[in-house]
Structures are given as C-alpha cells and as structure tokens.
A and B are shown apart, each in its own frame.
Chain A
C-alpha cells in the first residue's frame, strides 16, 4: 500500500516482536502505576483524613508531602520511560526501519 513496504513481514520479524513485547509491558505497566498512584491522592484525602493530617515537619503534614510526591512520581515515571525508550526501543526501531524501508 505504501511504497512497497512489506508490512506483514515486518510485523513477523523477531526483532519487531521483541520490540512490541517489551514496549507493551513497559508502557501499560507504567500507565497502571501512574493512574493508581494518582487516584490514591483523592481517595486518601477523602477517606484517610486522619493520616493526611499527621504533622511531620513543622506545619508540613503527610497530605502535603503526599501531594508533592505525586509530582515526583510523575516525573520519575516519565524519565524512566524516556531512558528505556532511548536505550532500547529507538535502536531496535531504527534497525527495523532501515531494513524494511
């Protein structure tokens, strides 16, 4: 359909299968982690108020630290994904693309 690339052969290529497997596992794993961690915040704020209220550092309480940790977790997930993608996926994808173009 497109300039004669054999898409079916490409999909069957063991390297593409490896790429697909690793990517799927990492992407959906991180996605679930991100969503679960995010929704812990409103759930905690609604149902675990006594815990959120505990003061740990002057006026700073567990709730504030937890909300701040949401930022850190989002950044860490993003950086972790970008590192893995840059190390593994980009190379594999470029090799496959070069062979089938």
Chain B
C-alpha cells in the first residue's frame, strides 16, 4: 500500500483539483478493494455453475425478471449516461435533461416490439433470430459482423472514456487504468460467463442507484424536498447566471440576472439545430432495440412474461435514475458551479463526483473524500460491467455464430467444445479491447457511442423487426439491410461535422487570436473602473482568454499545413451530427427491396412457424437446472 501511494504521489498536483486528496488515498483504495472483492466473490460462486454454452451465454436461462431488470439497467447506464447526462445538465441546464428522455423512451420500443418475440424464438445471439427462417450461414455472417461492429464502437468509447475518468478520479495513469479495467472484466467473463456478468451488473446498478439517492437526498433535503424552492435557488445563483451569460454571448448583455438564471431552465443552450436532435433521438429510440448486448439479456430469462417483467423493472430503474440526474446536474451547478466543473473536464463528466465530494464536506473532509471514493468506485464498476456485457456479446458472435454456426456448420460440437470456443473468443475480444483502448488514447471518442446506436438502429433494428413481423422478409433483405444500414451510418458519420476539418479549425483559431488584444484591453479597462467583484470576474475571464489563445495557437501548430479531414474533405458533405434520420429509412428500404428482389420460398414457408412461436412461446428452450 505504501509503495502504491508513493508511486502515485508525484502526479498528485495535476489532479488535485478533481481526484481524492492524497492524504485520503488509502480511503479510495479501501473502497475500491471492497467493491472488487465483492464482485470477485460473486464470480467465484458463478464460475462453479458454468458447464454448458447456455450457462456461459445466457446463465442457463435462469435469471428472474426482477434480476434481469437490474442487470439491464446496469448494462445500459454506461459512464456516458451516468456521468455524462448529469454533466450536461450542470453545464447546459434544460437541454441536458431533455437529452436523457430518449434513453428511457427507447425501452418502450424494446418492450412492445422486441423483448418477448426475441425470448420466444432466440437462443444466444442476434443472429439466432435472423437465421431462424433464412439461410443460416449467410445471415449468421452478416449478423455477427454487425454485432462486432456495434460492440467495437461502443467498447472503444467505454474503454477510452473510462480510462480518462479513472485517471482523473484515482490518479493512476491512462494505460494502467485501461489494462486494469480490461483484466478485471476478463476475469469476470472468462470464469463466470453470463452468470457473473449479470451479478456484476446488478451490483453496479444497486451501488449506482443508492449513491445517487443519497446525494440527491443531501442536496434536496435543505429545501424540504420542494422542486420550486430548489430550482429558485439554482436560478438565483450567480455562478449559474454567469454560465448562461457566457453561453449566450452578446444577447446576454440586455438580460437581467434573474432572466439569465431562468434561461438555464429553458431549451436551446446546448442543442442549436433541432434536426440534429431529432436525428439523435431516432438513433436512441430505435437503436436500443438493436443493441446486441441488450438483446442478449432477454435470452437469460425463462419466458416471455419474465422478459416483459424485466423491461418494466429496467424502465423503473433507468427512468428513476434519470429523474435523479436532474437533481445531480442542477445540484452540481448550484453547489460546485459550472465554471469549475468545465475546468476539470470540458464535457462535464465529473459533475456527479465533484458534487459528491462537496456534499460530503469538501475536499479536505473525511466524509467528502469517502463520498468521492465511493462514486469513483461506482464509476469504475460501471465501466467494467458495461464492458463485460459488450465483450460477451462480441464473443458470442465470434464463437456461437461464426465458429459453431458457420465454420463447423453441421458438425456436432460438444458442450465442452462450445464453452471452450466461447472462452477463447472472450480472451481474444478482451485483449483486443485493451489494445484498442491504448491505441485510441487521446482520441475524441464521444461520437462513437452515437455511431453505435446509429448502426444498431439502421442495420440491426430493421432486420430484426421485419424478420419478426413481415412475412415476405428473407435472406436477401437481411443481407441488404445489414450492409446498407451499417455502411450508410458509418459512411455518413465519416463525412459529417464530427470529424476535424483543418480549414475551419484554423479559421476559428485566427478569429480568437485576432480578437484577443481588443478583448484584453476591454477587460483591463473594466477592471480599472470596477469594484472588487468586477475585478474578480475580469480575472476569471482573463484566465479563460489566456486558455483560449493558447488552444488556438496549439490548433494552428497542429493543423498548420493540412487542408483536408481524415477522409480527404475540406468541409463536411453531410450536415447532421448523427446519421439516424437518413440511415434508418435507408436500412428499412434495403430490407424491403432486398426481400422483394430475392426469391426464398423457405423463408415464407417458415413464416407460420416463426409467427406462431413468437406469439405463443411454444417450444421455447427451457431453463437448464443444475
């Protein structure tokens, strides 16, 4: 312990602002050790129950609806939604909360159209559903490729985002934190398969929800749990008003302080183009129903009724959590202040942890650091739990679809052989995720989560939906839909404004540099004339200006001679940030045209069987008892 602490000390000043104070480092390590020990013990118990492929991929179908609901919440509330949304609310107010709504509404689609039929006709993977009445080899190949694509995008975002967070929160370096997350996750999945993954997700979700409830109680209690009283304080806060003034720029000059504060509760501070938000909303609402690691969770329950119950529980937990983030986000804006949150992490990801520390008594108190350590441990458990679910989905596509279903098609693979294949695939995907995490260090990966949802919504969702509900759908449609949906979503993103366009970056940088001297002079004049508050304000603004100038200079140095983006474009060809609005209809069109142009009598003959089974649950594979 002393050695570890000594090794960590030299880098302390760099993160002192955000992480646990060095003298309380032992506290962080203790809380982390407790959380890891608990999950390890569960894995040890689970490992003894994994004998067959069904145990490894689906926990033998023996998970209850309530357990699965918690596990879905644990799988779904990734760092992006748990830290990111509270951060967005703390920095942009209303728009951040509006953003969270789509993540819950997505589950209505899952409940109504996907969960029960998938439970009734599926076994382990997305491709099991696609291949049921279609050419098994071809549909398994496209289904597996799409699963690997979606999971890899999502995985990269989790690994890189998680690595950065763990680095800031605990102060270990980026590579070490990526390797730690990767190895721990591999431990759970390799030995405990879906049983351990399910329990790690349940434990994480319970920790996350209890931590959030505790923080919200402490933030809200002083107002007698009155929403208007709490919000009245938020809008009256000078830190919040200053943030709105900064976001609005010139128009803010004509507004009173009260108007500025109230503006924080009104739309338009984050989302500038409505069409962007609608496109992202479509990707969320239809994409969740096509995420392979979420679909996989429905194979772990014994019946359609339990699948339904699991979505209901998941909606209660996920929705309740997002309502709590409203208080976490506004509470962080009020107590910590948007400027300080943005200074630690520009995306606001540390709003929740910083609020926890403040509520506990601040950076110098024992309880403040205990709260921060606890929230950090939850963040760490979140990344591990989400990554475990993703790796399991990717490994099942490799081992069950590609190896057992295509390479060894028609040959008998023993139970031990299947489990061995699953474990080898898990090790391969796990090693790959660590490699990608390290290789993508410093990259802007936020776009990858949106892209994962877009591919799931444009390729997986139309294929699954139409093979379940449209008689004429066949192999041709599935192949066309998977290819067109994936290529459209990825292709449109590559030519979208998400990439860096050096000409635009340089133009912005020049503008900042050109305006800097005049701005500096104005601030100096205001400073000379004003009182003490004015002086304090100017010095913060001056520091921000210095930072902007330094960034502009760095951008100019970095992009000095280059004119084109990564794709060789000087400006974006496609103006939407998320491709959903265009790529989802394209995916549906491809499934329909592909099915109509391809003749496949078997798919139509099997329709009655598929439709009867998905509605009645006949012949559903029963839970295997040990």
Contacts and interface: CB of A to CB of B under 8 A. Distances in A.
Interface string A1-23: 11101011011000010011001
Contact of B274 (A23, A42, A93): A42
A75 B619 contact: no
Nearest to A13: B612
Contacts of A42: 98, 271, 274, 277-278, 281
A56 B290 CA distance: 39
Contact of B608 (A11, A31, A85): A11
Contacts of A2: 609, 619
A38 B616 contact: no
Contacts of A47: 274
B562 interface: no
Secondary structure dominating the interface of B: helix
B228 A59 contact: yes
A20 B606 CA distance: 17
Contacts of A49: 266-268
A18 B308 CA distance: 21
Contact of B112 (A16, A31, A58, A97): A31
Q: Which of the four size classes fits the interface of chain B?
A: 35 or more
Contacts of A100: 612, 616, 618
Contact of B612 (A7, A31, A39): A7
Nearest to A69: B101
B230 to A, nearest CB: 9
Contact of B267 (A60, A63, A86): A63
Main secondary structure of the interface of A (DSSP, over half): helix
A67 B97 contact: yes
Given A23-B615, A27-B113, A39-B278, A78 B267 contact: no
Contact of B271 (A45, A61, A68): A45
Contacts of A7: 608-609, 612
B618 A101 contact: yes
A39 to B, nearest CB: 7
B101 A71 contact: yes
Interface in B94-149: 94-95, 97-98, 101-102, 104-105, 107-109, 111-113
A46 B619 contact: no
B606 A1 contact: yes
A101 B618 CA distance: 7
Nearest to A8: B608
Contact of B265 (A19, A43, A63, A90): A63
Contacts of A8: 608
Contact of B281 (A38, A61, A81): A38
Contact of B319 (A19, A61, A74, A85): A74
Nearest to A90: B305
A46 B272 CA distance: 8
A1 B609 contact: yes
A41 B278 CA distance: 10
16 contacts: A1-B606, A11-B608, A11-B612, A20-B611, A23-B615, A31-B109, A39-B278, A41-B101, A47-B274, A52-B266, A58-B232, A74-B104, A75-B316, A82-B308, A90-B305, A100-B616
Interface of B: 94-95, 97-98, 101-102, 104-105, 107-109, 111-113, 227-229, 231-232, 234-235, 262, 265-268, 271, 274, 277-278, 281, 285, 305, 308-309, 311-312, 315-316, 319, 322-323, 606, 608-609, 611-612, 615-619
Given A5-B609, A19-B615, A31-B109, 7 more contacts: A5-B612, A7-B609, A20-B611, A23-B615, A45-B95, A67-B94, A74-B319
Interface of A: 1-3, 5, 7-8, 10-11, 16, 19-20, 23, 27, 30-31, 34-35, 38-39, 41-43, 45-47, 49, 52-53, 55, 57-61, 63-64, 67-68, 70-71, 74-75, 77-79, 81-82, 85-86, 90, 93-94, 96-97, 100-101
3 tightest Cβ-Cβ pairs between the two chains A and B: A58-B228, A46-B274, A45-B267
